[in-house]
């Protein structure tokens, strides 16, 4: 089989997102940002968000990482811009499920869009962390924001 | 067919398997080595015939277990030419050995304003313990830089090691740069300045003849699992008078001479450091690993690996867009080959190689200060041992080419 299995992980859409990342760089009107590291490889991602009235107005990301983490971040921004904070967190959970090979609803699959394609990472256990890193960063950012709001 | 040094491949059953539909090639030996049948058998023998706690019983099995446990210590001592078993302390790993040196000996000798000198190519286990003791004692942690070639810059070493230096702690062989550092020369420099010299032997002891008396190191640390033994057994060597002066790190059973209600006295060396039931089977297996290595001969292992590097390094350097870290002269490079391919992230490269059945490491190799120094986020790393072959090297080189093409074309 050899390298042909790589096609499962590095689909055209994934390579496109990593080579031409959407919403990459600084977000001038960001209301919050969160930096997360993958201690096993040293990758670092900084997710920036503009949130108003519990709605994600805009997202961006910056940092260094592998094809999978960069593509995943790009796909995440596309999927979650415009979502309510509540729905975004639900979709983050759905994405997590996909990466460990669990089923999700058709509705969630559709809303995740390109990101749902990364579900094939479930067949590459060593790379699940790479795909999950940006989503964990955003989830932590949203979690912090809620804690601060309730304080 | 090439079967490794002295046809040793057959002793490593794990190498004979199919991974991702391809014959397995193991090139992650700097992380941990595989274990030959003889070492595995020594563990089974111990548990089937001799299992008992050491230094405690008067029954026959306790005597046998103790004798084997101590015989293994003598093998370690002979292997690194330590003067006596008193100077060989069992630990969990190189990491634990270095931590003990820093937190006990370092704590004893380092004072405010003193310098601790390490290098840019140290593993985290030879960086972080020194950061801790430097912070606690208000000492200064200094780094020796590398030459453009990736070797330790000895001119810079002569500047960094000063009369204020109390400790110099350097890897004998680098787990990234593929170089052997001049520990003997560094020890002379350290001693001339009144400092203590510590050698991190994790990457050298498995691959080179090591003579701690000739190196004149004050302490030396090594791990069993990087030299055919199981995980969880390591060694701390120290000069006897320094180990005598160094306080124990852990307290409890085994390490005491006599315990009164309010105080206790310690056993003599090396047992004063070995609190609690030790890793008996691990120590015995380390002894068996040393027997295996001695049968092959460390000089032969070194020469064989050098031959593999002479064969592989020029082929890697021929791949367009491939960067190899450390010296490009094979004579100066060990079997640790860290590299990056074009703009590809090493994780992507390693996943590609994994699909070809080849195990390499990708990441920062527990050397983040070095990654920062080299200005890379991470690297891939292939590392040889004596059971690897030129065929393995060809598979690596061809697969790197295939991975490069895959990512250039987006498919194969």
CB distance A67–B348 less than 8 Å?
A: yes
The per-residue pLDDT for A47 is: 97
Place of tokens 């090297």: B393
DSSP state string for B25-49: EE-BTTT-----HHHHHHHHHIIII
Residue of B nearest to A68 (CA): B348
**Confidence class for position A28, pLDDT limits 50, 70, 90:** very high
pLDDT, averaged across chain B: 96
**Residue B17 token pair:** 């398997």
Decide if pLDDT at B315 tops 70: yes
pLDDT digits (tens, 9 = 90+) for B324-383: 999 999 999 999 999 999 889 999 999 999 999 999 999 999 999 999 999 998 999 999
**Residue B313 token pair:** 């390094």
Decide if pLDDT at A2 tops 80: no
Query: What is the percentage of chain A residues whose pLDDT exceeds 90?
Result: 73
- Burial of residue A150 (CB within 10 Å: 0-12, 13-18, 19+) is exposed
Query: What is the percentage of chain B residues whose pLDDT exceeds 70?
Result: 99
- For residue B25, the chain A residues in CB contact (below 8 A) are none
The per-residue pLDDT for B408 is: 85
The per-residue pLDDT for A144 is: 93
Decide if pLDDT at B65 tops 90: yes
CA distances from A128 to A8, A75, A99, A133, B381 (A): 14, 15, 6, 9, 21
CB distance B351–A3 less than 8 Å?
A: no
Query: What is the percentage of chain B residues whose pLDDT exceeds 90?
Result: 91
- For residue B354, the chain A residues in CB contact (below 8 A) are 126
The per-residue pLDDT for B1 is: 53
Decide if pLDDT at B114 tops 90: yes
Quick check: A148 contacting B, CB < 8 Å?
no
Average pLDDT over every residue of B245-270: 91
Quick check: A41 contacting B, CB < 8 Å?
yes
Quick check: B348 contacting A, CB < 8 Å?
yes
CB distance B378–A2 less than 8 Å?
A: no
ipTM for the predicted complex: 0.82
**Confidence class for position A8, pLDDT limits 50, 70, 90:** confident
How far the first Cα of chain A sits from its last, in Å, is 55
Q: Would residue B366 show up in a list of annotated catalytic residues for this protein?
A: yes
B93/chain A closest Cα distance in angstroms? 20
User: Which one of the listed residues B344, B355, B366, B402 is annotated catalytic?
Assistant: B366
pLDDT digits (tens, 9 = 90+) for B152-211: 999 999 999 999 999 999 999 999 999 999 999 999 999 999 999 999 999 999 999 999
Residues for chain B: how many in total?
412
The per-residue pLDDT for B412 is: 52
pLDDT digits (tens, 9 = 90+) for A42-72: 788 999 999 999 999 999 999 888 999 999 9
- For residue B356, the chain A residues in CB contact (below 8 A) are 2-3
A56/chain B closest Cα distance in angstroms? 30
Closest to B249 measured CA to CA, from B94, B137, B103, B98: B103
* Cα separation, B14 vs B35, whole angstroms: 8
Decide if pLDDT at A1 tops 60: no
* Cα separation, B285 vs A48, whole angstroms: 52
pLDDT digits (tens, 9 = 90+) for B11-48: 999 999 999 999 999 999 999 999 999 999 999 999 99
CB distance B412–A4 less than 8 Å?
A: yes
**Confidence class for position B411, pLDDT limits 50, 70, 90:** low
* Cα separation, A39 vs A37, whole angstroms: 6
Which are the contacts of B117, defined by CB distance < 8 A and separation ≥ 6? Answer: B142, B143, B144, B157, B160, B161, B165, B167, B168, B169, B190, B195
* Cα separation, B360 vs B330, whole angstroms: 20
How far the first Cα of chain B sits from its last, in Å, is 30
Contact B389, B3 (CB under 8 A): yes
User: What DSSP character marks residue B360?
Assistant: -
Average pLDDT over every residue of B296-317: 97
CB distance A2–B21 less than 8 Å?
A: yes
């Amino acid at each position: 089989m050899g390298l042909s299995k790589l096609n499962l992980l590095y689909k055209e859409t994934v390579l496109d997102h990593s080579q031409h990342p959407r919403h990459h760089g600084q977000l001038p009107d960001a209301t919050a940002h969160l930096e997360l590291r993958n201690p096993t490889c040293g990758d670092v991602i900084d997710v920036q968000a503009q949130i108003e009235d519990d709605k994600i107005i805009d997202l961006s990301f910056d940092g260094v990482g592998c094809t999978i983490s960069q593509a995943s971040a790009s796909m995440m921004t596309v999927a979650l811009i415009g979502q309510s904070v509540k729905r975004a967190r639900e979709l983050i959970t759905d994405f997590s499920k996909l990466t460990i090979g669990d089923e999700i609803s058709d509705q969630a699959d559709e809303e995740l869009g390109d990101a749902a394609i990364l579900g094939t990472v479930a067949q590459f256990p060593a790379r699940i962390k790479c795909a999950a890193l940006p989503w964990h960063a955003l989830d932590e950012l949203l979690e912090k924001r809620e804690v601060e709001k309730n304080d | 067919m090439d079967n490794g040094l002295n046809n040793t491949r057959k002793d490593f059953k794990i190498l004979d398997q199919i991974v991702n539909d391809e014959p397995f090639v193991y090139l992650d030996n700097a992380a941990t080595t595989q274990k030959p049948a003889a070492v595995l058998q020594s563990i089974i023998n111990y548990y089937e015939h001799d299992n008992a706690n050491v230094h405690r019983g008067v029954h026959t099995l306790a005597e046998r277990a103790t004798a084997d446990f101590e015989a293994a210590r003598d093998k370690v001592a002979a292997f690194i030419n330590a003067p006596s078993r008193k100077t060989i302390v069992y630990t969990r790993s190189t990491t634990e050995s270095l931590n003990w040196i820093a937190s006990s000996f370092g704590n004893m000798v380092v004072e405010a304003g003193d310098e601790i000198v390490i290098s840019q190519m140290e593993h985290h286990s030879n960086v972080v313990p020194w950061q801790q003791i430097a912070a606690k004692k208000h000492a200064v942690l200094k780094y020796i830089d590398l030459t453009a070639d990736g070797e330790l810059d000895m001119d810079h070493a002569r500047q960094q090691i000063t009369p204020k230096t109390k400790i110099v702690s350097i890897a004998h062989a680098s787990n990234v740069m593929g170089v052997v550092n001049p520990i003997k020369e560094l020890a002379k420099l350290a001693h001339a300045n009144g400092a203590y010299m510590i050698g991190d032997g994790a990457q050298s002891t498995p691959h080179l003849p090591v003579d701690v008396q000739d190196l004149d190191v004050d302490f030396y640390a090594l791990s069993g699992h990087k030299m055919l033994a199981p995980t969880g057994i390591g060694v701390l060597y120290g000069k006897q008078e320094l180990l005598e002066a160094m306080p124990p790190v852990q307290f409890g059973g085994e390490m005491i001479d006599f315990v009164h209600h309010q105080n206790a006295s310690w056993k003599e060396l090396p047992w004063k450091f070995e609190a609690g039931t030790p890793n008996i089977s691990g120590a015995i297996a380390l002894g068996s690993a040393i027997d295996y290595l001695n049968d092959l001969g460390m000089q032969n292992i070194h020469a064989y690996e050098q031959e593999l590097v002479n064969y592989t390094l020029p082929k890697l350097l021929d791949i367009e867009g491939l960067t190899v870290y450390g010296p490009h002269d094979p004579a100066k490079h060990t079997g640790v080959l860290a590299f990056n391919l074009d703009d590809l992230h090493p994780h992507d490269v390693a996943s590609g190689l994994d699909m070809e059945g080849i195990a390499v490491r990708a990441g920062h190799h527990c050397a983040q200060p070095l990654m920062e120094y080299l200005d890379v986020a991470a690297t891939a790393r292939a590392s040889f041992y004596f059971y690897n072959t030129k065929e393995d090297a060809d598979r690596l080189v061809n697969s790197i080419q295939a991975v490069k093409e895959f990512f250039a074309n987006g498919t194969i």
